[in-house]
Amino acid sequence: MGSAVKVIEDNSLQVLPDGYSFNVRLNWYRSLPVSSVANLSVTLDGELVPADQIRFEINNRQFHLSEMENQIEEFWFVQDSARLHIVQPGKVAIGESHTLYTEMALRFPYISIGPGKFLTNTSRCTSTQVAQSGYKGPILGVTLFSLTNEWQQRLYDLDGMIAKVVEMGLGPGVEVVGFQTFRTYPSVSDEEAYHFRRLVEKYSLVPTCLGANMDNGRHPKHLMSEDEIYSYTERQLISAKKLGFPLMRVPPAVGSLSLEKILPLAEKYKIILAVELHSPLSIYHPEVIGLRQMFDRLQSPYLGFIPDFSTTMTSVPEGFWNNLRSAGAPESLIDAAKAIWSTDDPTPVKFGALGEACKRFGANPIVSGQINNVMTMFGHAPVDSWREIMPYTRHVHGKYYYVNEEGFEPSIPYQALMKMLKDECYQGTISAEWEGQAFTEEPIGFQQVAAWNAMCRRFLAAA
């Protein structure tokens, strides 16, 4: 029994930073496990591609050919295209015409032809195509955390907030903080999960990321044990699955040891665990270095990072200084704090310098407590430092505090950041994460997200 599809999909040849890709279809009438691909070979312009340079991509996962025989629970749906990603940098250029040839043998695991033997059919296909750019740009969206003022002031329920996001064109991506959005979190009820999924489907939104928390200090007298972290994480992973999120944000406090221990849960529920790199965690922080080493060792598609732009700032938001002024900070102390923040000294040295400045300028206890946040909330790592972890970037938090009337974020170099993402051919998701509610109670989140969206689109188009 054959199928009325052409194995190599027309007009699918795309140029990638590390090579090229094209799509293939399943030449059968029903879905099959990925392990049923018994043999696969690719030829470009008559030249055989080495097997170790071929990656098979399906269901947002990537496999080396040698890994495919073990993918008995990963199914290739009959209407879906798989992408063959060929790691041969510079082999194909945009606008060039190339001839692709592929042979694919499928073993049908339900048609026995003898003891331990199953019917196998080989399809062969040739296609000549003009290569196109494979870069479509990142997917913009919003985290509902940006609308905290509106939510806390009860201006919207979830239905109304989602409807407003769609009305203003702030999607398609939508991210939520679990404990902020769902009454029954961390173990979201079937009813609440169903309601959210119906909302997402109604408005054609894309669930991007569920913000999880570990609550390590929920016991008054001791921290959570590793077993408790495991159980607490599993409850939230189950909720992510029920809600339709492909990725769950976890804080660095999980730690590399616990993260490795809970990785089987992520694989079980097919949810990516991504560690948020919020200031002061630059890529050179010891915790981040440890995580990168673990990611290198495990090479799991279910682990990664969420860069947060708070780590890459050029100045501290003026709202922060205004809050300090309101608390009684003298201008001389603010000037000193700005100078200390802008140095490249280690963070402990900066904290010491801040303490000395508070004594020197007679800061009151409230100011002395608040001013330390300047070193934890706002980092100024170079934009290009993010390039090192882009292979492990699963999602991005587009942190910002204010987009002015000229369409710029004064404290974060968005133009350089968008160019970096485009240079790296990042095609994942970015959530607008407005944290201006730290400085104002005004319900201006929707307006600020709209301004962020326009700013990012402008910079991406110009990059």
Catalytic annotation, residues? 278
**Residue-wise DSSP of 232-295:** HHHHHHHHHHHHT-SEEEE-GGGHHHHHHHHHHHHHHHT-EEEEEE-TT--TTSHHHHHHHHHH
Both structure tokens of 60: 């947002």
**Greatest pairwise CA separation for the chain in angstroms:** 88
Close Cβ partners of 93 (under 8 Å, ≥ 6 residues apart): 15, 131
In angstroms, the CA 173 to CA 249 distance is 15
The strand pairing partners of 62, in sequence order, are 57
The strand pairing partners of 14, in sequence order, are 21, 132
In angstroms, the CA 107 to CA 109 distance is 6
Instruction: Give how far Cα 384 sits from Cα of 112, 121, 312, 373, Å.
Output: 55, 49, 9, 25
Both structure tokens of 319: 């709202």
In angstroms, the CA 436 to CA 133 distance is 37
Asked if the peptide bond before residue 172 counts as cis, ω within 30 degrees of 0, the response is yes
In angstroms, the CA 166 to CA 203 distance is 7
In angstroms, the CA 74 to CA 37 distance is 12
List strand residue ranges (DSSP E) for 45-172, in order: 47-48, 54-58, 61-64, 75-76, 81-86, 97-114, 117-130, 132-133, 139-143
In contact, 276 and 291? CB cutoff 8 Å: no
In angstroms, the CA 164 to CA 429 distance is 20
